[in-house]
């Protein structure tokens, strides 16, 4: 489920938990996660090592360890890292445990099991195909208006699908793209190449502004996603079909673009 804002918050939590903290054991028996790698190799690479840094690239988490290895993780739809007591019962969907020398446990929980993880020599991270193909990070290197114009020029693809294409820009997902287009008053199904210069300029300004807002807004809640108990919907449109548009009061509609649920205001984004 997570997009850039949630992954950024996950990175900040992991940084607190791991940097300067020694891992004693790496435990997993999840063949889908290992994809041919060996749990023993993961353990050998990380056990006994302190975390040195935690980075984020688009929606990927990178945890660098002393000894020269990096744990790369993608949370996909349902992944999250939890810090638990070392003797707590494993939560449903637990796929990987990092035991720490203070007795606690970092658990990679992922109920749908779509998440991915790698343990690589740190220099090899750059050539991991999943990372190498990413476009510029929308928080660290937000596109200028001319850069966005170059990306959209001549494209018949909807602007929403383009914003979610990680090879062009990275970090925006289904919710971010929809919320940014609402703020910019642009219809999500508009062919990217047909946007006006003024619309492009608004988008360029709103992308980093929205991400900073979302990180701040979501940092005030536990890392709980919509649909879970106690979840708080901080979004303007997402998940609010039929509710009044916060700007004009018109009923929010839902459609499907690029296979993803898409919420929009037919009046503001007409």
Partner DNA sequence: CTTATCCCCTGCCGGC
Partner DNA sequence: TGCCGGCAGGGGATAA
Q: Which residues bind DNA (CB under 7 A)?
A: 1-3, 5-6, 32, 58-59, 74, 76-77, 92-93, 111-114, 130, 133, 155-158, 161-162, 164, 166, 173-175, 218, 225-227, 229, 231, 238, 254, 258-261
- Cβ of residue 223: shortest distance to DNA, in angstroms? 8
Cβ distance to DNA smaller for residue 107 or 218 = 218
Show contacts of 231-236: CB within 8 Å, 24+ apart. 235/175, 235/179, 236/179, 236/182, 236/183
Cβ distance to DNA smaller for residue 209 or 228 = 228
Selected catalytic residue, list 13, 212, 253, 260 = 260
**160 is known as an active-site residue:** no
Residue entry with tokens 């990096």: 70
- Cβ of residue 20: shortest distance to DNA, in angstroms? 27
**112 is known as an active-site residue:** no
Q: How many CB atoms lie within 10 A of CB 167?
A: 8
- Cβ of residue 2: shortest distance to DNA, in angstroms? 5
Cβ distance to DNA smaller for residue 30 or 66 = 30
Q: How many CB atoms lie within 10 A of CB 216?
A: 12
Selected catalytic residue, list 49, 57, 59, 168 = 59
Reference 176, options 114, 184, 168, 42; nearest CA is 184
Two tokens, residue 268:
């503001």
Cβ distance to DNA smaller for residue 111 or 185 = 111
In terms of phi and psi (left: phi > 0; alpha: psi -120 to 50; beta: otherwise), the region of 36 is left
**266 is known as an active-site residue:** no
Selected catalytic residue, list 2, 5, 142, 188 = 2
**208 is known as an active-site residue:** no
Q: How far are the Cα atoms of 15, 136, 162 from residue 61, in angstroms, in the given order?
A: 10, 16, 23
**Residues recognised as catalytic:** 2-3, 59, 260
């Amino acid at each position: 489920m997570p997009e850039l804002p949630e992954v950024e918050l996950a990175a900040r939590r992991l940084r607190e938990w791991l940097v300067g903290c020694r891992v004693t054991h790496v435990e997993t028996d999840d063949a889908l996660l290992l994809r041919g790698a060996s749990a023993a190799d993961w353990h050998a690479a990380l056990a006994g090592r302190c975390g040195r840094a935690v980075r984020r690239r688009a929606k990927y988490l990178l945890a660098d360890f002393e000894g020269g290895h990096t744990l790369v993780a993608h949370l996909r739809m349902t992944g999250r890292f939890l810090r638990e007591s070392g003797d707590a019962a494993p939560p449903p969907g637990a796929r990987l445990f990092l035991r720490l020398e203070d007795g606690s446990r970092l658990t990679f929980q992922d109920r749908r099991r779509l998440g991915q993880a790698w343990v690589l020599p740190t220099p090899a991270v750059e050539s991991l195909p999943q990372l190498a193909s990413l476009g510029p990070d929308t928080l660290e290197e937000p596109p200028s208006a001319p850069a966005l114009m170059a990306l959209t020029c001549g494209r018949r693809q909807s602007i929403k699908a383009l914003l979610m294409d990680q090879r062009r820009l990275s970090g925006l997902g289904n919710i971010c793209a929809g919320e940014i287009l609402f703020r910019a008053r642009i219809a999500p199904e508009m062919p990217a190449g047909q946007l006006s210069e003024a619309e492009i300029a608004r988008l360029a300004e709103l992308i980093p502004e929205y991400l900073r807002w979302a990180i701040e807004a979501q940092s005030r809640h536990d890392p709980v996603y919509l649909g879970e108990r106690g979840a708080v919907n901080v979004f303007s449109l997402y998940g609010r079909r039929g509710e009044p548009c916060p700007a004009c009061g018109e009923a929010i509609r839902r459609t499907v673009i690029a296979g993803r649920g898409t919420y929009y205001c037919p009046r503001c984004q007409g």
